[in-house]
Chain A
Amino acid sequence: MSLSVFFSEFFRLLTPTTLFNSLWATAFGIIVGMLPGLQATMGVALITGLTFRFPAEQVVVILISVYVGAIYGGSRSAILLNIPGTAANAATCLDGNPLARKGQAGYAIGLATTASAVGTFIGLLTLGIVSPLLGKIALSFKSWEFFTLAIFGIVICGNLTAPKDPLKGWVAGLFGLLLSQIGRDPIHAYPRFTFGTVALSGGLSLIPVLVGTYGVSEIIGVMKMPKAYTVRTKVDRVLPRMADFVRYWKTIIRSGIIGVIVGAIPGVGEDTAAWISYDVAKRSSKNPDEFGRGSYDGLIAAETGNNACIGGAIIPVLTLAVPGSAPAAVLLAAMWLHGIRPGPLLPIEQPMFIGTVTAIFMLATIFMAILGLSWVRPLVKVLQVPRTILMPIVLVLCTVGAYAINGRLFDIYLTVLFGVIGFFMRSNDFPAAPLVLGFILGPMADDNLRRALVISGGSLAPFFARPICQVLWALTLLVIISRTPLPRMIRNMFKRRAEA
């Protein structure tokens, strides 16, 4: 994408309607993000349903603004309450809250805001540069590659979102893939797992599944806790000093790159990006002991990493129609709902679209920085609303969002059912992201596997003969083997030999 396309799209978007929509959506995203229990995915899914009647371009503006705002907004409660507003901000607590306890809450918020803005900027820059290049490679993808990509996505997503126990991540992914098989199959229109009901013949809708898994399950999780939070920290100076930023430029660049790469991996979201960025910053620091005690370096790493991840997560959405994170999955679904077809053909069908998305990102980043630095004290007031009042209202909004798209009560029942399933999964350490990714990639895997087998006359050979497939299978196997006891056994064997 050339710079001229980006600027022409950016200036084209500077209309009162777009500016207004981006502003309120970013503010909404920040509020959703900062309220413990409300995830970015839930915010984006909720808005998808509520803005169903809006024009397609405005929906993309609103959803990207909510996404950017929510990932940043979670840092607010992480710093002030030591409770991450979204999973993406868990690493922010480690240094953000100690800074608040030292009386630097406002300054920590300022640093987090600036780091998030820079992170998002790195993400959008990479999105603009890499997407067209990846789009060219994606054009060579056929059924064999798409099926292998779906399997690779589930395996790596399960591995990274459940780092302690990847088996549970893979179970969640397979469960998501299986759920996506409900409904009429795309080749014979045979009703699969529908039990003769009309409601199931079209399959399970994505928005109720997402709102349930991420929204309702979170509400149950928040209401389960017998303790309530209160804001005690006072807010002081907010604007960060330039010198602090210049001093940590290496951390910013490194975390930005890590965020983008992690974001581009299917299904692996902002939380993983923040943790990896934080871990790498700690390992590279001259003062690793300061980490966890209020280090500017740690705070900047976590916030740059999670926000840079957003741009990375959109890259596979636009080029391969594969989401890089859970909120990106909703974005993908919303694009489909509004007649935009992301994937290899996007640069041909809508050549300016990548430029438009990049420009929308820029707009959201600007609003995020303005709102983040100027609205510190009013936003703290939002955190003081008791959860016993807030959560029932959020559940009401979840049901509205789920119902708005198809106008079916069945979707509301589905939302609550998936809320309970999601809560059970959370309670037993099964990550939700692979389930959602599996649910999105399921139709792609099913359709492409059977089509590929029909084309090759039932032969599996092309799946292992095509170069891109070979790379993806090799990576998939590597991931699986690395999480079995085999590498440890080999290491121990070599150790014993060396000792002998």
Chain B
Amino acid sequence: MRRADTISGILVMAVAAFFGIMALRMPWRASQWGITAAPGLVPLVLATALLLCGLVLVTRAKTGDAHYKRMEALNQQAPTCDDEAGDAAEPESTSEGRVLTETQRVLLTVGLAVAYILLLGRIHYAVATALYIFASIAVFQGKGYGKAAIVAVVSSAVVWFVFTKVFFVFLP
């Protein structure tokens, strides 16, 4: 938790510094109203506030023992439903095939999504969509490629037909 807060705090400070520096480089006396109407005024104020929050986050991660003890106590007291793996949840290997670690699953999900959006506009929409859906099902299930192919083709065709012919929506 502390390490995560330190990293988050540093990231927040970096983002704030970036916006702050960019705001300072904007014209400050371009109009008759001076700095009060300058385009960089609000971004600078916000970036300063964000920088302070980031600083507090990092400082607290380094020195705030009491805070983290209180957080731990609160986490233990809080009523929760087990939303990540309720009693109805079961290991995916028994129901959906391949077992992957959490990090692998996140990277695969993001990677497949990025590959899909990069394909959009380069090949026909329905083909890109079918490829993406098939790849996702195949990668995460690790079996049933025939079924995955049918689901991919049917769902991409349905999406293409419904949105272009029924909703008259533009597709990439």
Contacts and interface: CB of A to CB of B under 8 A. Distances in A.
A84 interface: yes
A219 B167 contact: no
Interface residues of B, number: 88
Interface string A391-414: 111011101100110010100110
Contacts of A453: 33, 36-37
Contacts of B54: 171
A176 to B, nearest CB: 10
Interface in A225-255: 225-233
B46 A174 contact: yes
Contact of B83 (A90, A391, A412): A90
B46 A416 contact: no
B146 interface: no
Interface stretch (A131-139, A177-185, A342-350, A470-478): A177-185
Given A192-B26, A231-B88, A393-B155, A388 B42 contact: no
A178 B84 CA distance: 32
A142 B145 CA distance: 62
Nearest to A227: B89
B36 A458 contact: yes
B88 A82 contact: yes
For the side of the interface on A, what is the size category? 35 or more
A476 to B, nearest CB: 13
Nearest to A291: B79
A229 B136 contact: no
Interface string A57-78: 0000000000000000000001
A220 interface: yes
Contact of A223 (B66, B78, B106, B170): B106
Most buried by A among B38, B79, B99, B120: B79
A420 to B, nearest CB: 6
A226 B30 contact: no
A403 B171 contact: yes
Contacts of B155: 393, 396
A457 to B, nearest CB: 8
A424 to B, nearest CB: 8
Given A53-B167, A171-B53, A419-B113, A224 B105 contact: yes
Nearest to B136: A392
A423 B117 contact: no
A471 B172 CA distance: 49
A226 B12 CA distance: 30
Does more than half of chain B's interface fall in helix, strand or loop, or is it mixed? helix
Interface stretch (A2-10, A353-361, A444-452): A444-452
A80 interface: yes
Contact of A188 (B37, B80, B167): B37
Contact of A227 (B8, B33, B92): B92
A171 B57 contact: yes
Interface in A171-208: 171, 174-175, 177-178, 181, 185, 187-188, 190, 192-193
A395 to B, nearest CB: 6
B155 to A, nearest CB: 5
A428 B3 CA distance: 10
Nearest to B109: A223
A292 B82 CA distance: 13
Interface in A471-493: 485
B153 interface: no
A52 interface: yes
Nearest to A412: B117
Nearest to A93: B81
A437 B92 CA distance: 36
A160 to B, nearest CB: 15
Contact of A83 (B26, B88, B140): B88
B99 A226 contact: yes
B46 A420 contact: no
Contacts of A413: 117
A94 interface: yes
B161 interface: no
B100 to A, nearest CB: 7
Contacts of B121: 409
Contacts of A420: 110
Contacts of B19: 178, 181, 193
Given A82-B88, A193-B22, A389-B151, 12 more contacts: A82-B86, A84-B81, A167-B53, A178-B46, A188-B39, A192-B26, A193-B43, A223-B140, A228-B92, A228-B95, A388-B96, A396-B132
9 contacts: A93-B83, A94-B79, A97-B86, A188-B27, A188-B39, A229-B86, A396-B159, A413-B117, A423-B106
| Top 10 A-B residue pairs of the complex, sorted by shortest distance between their CB atoms | A93-B81, A82-B86, A392-B136, A453-B36, A185-B39, A190-B39, A227-B89, A446-B42, A388-B140, A174-B50
Interface of A: 36, 49-53, 78, 80-84, 90, 93-94, 97, 101, 164-165, 167-168, 170-171, 174-175, 177-178, 181, 185, 187-188, 190, 192-193, 216, 219-220, 223-233, 292, 386-389, 391-393, 395-397, 399-400, 403-404, 407, 409, 412-413, 416, 419-420, 423, 428, 430, 445-446, 449-450, 453-454, 458, 485
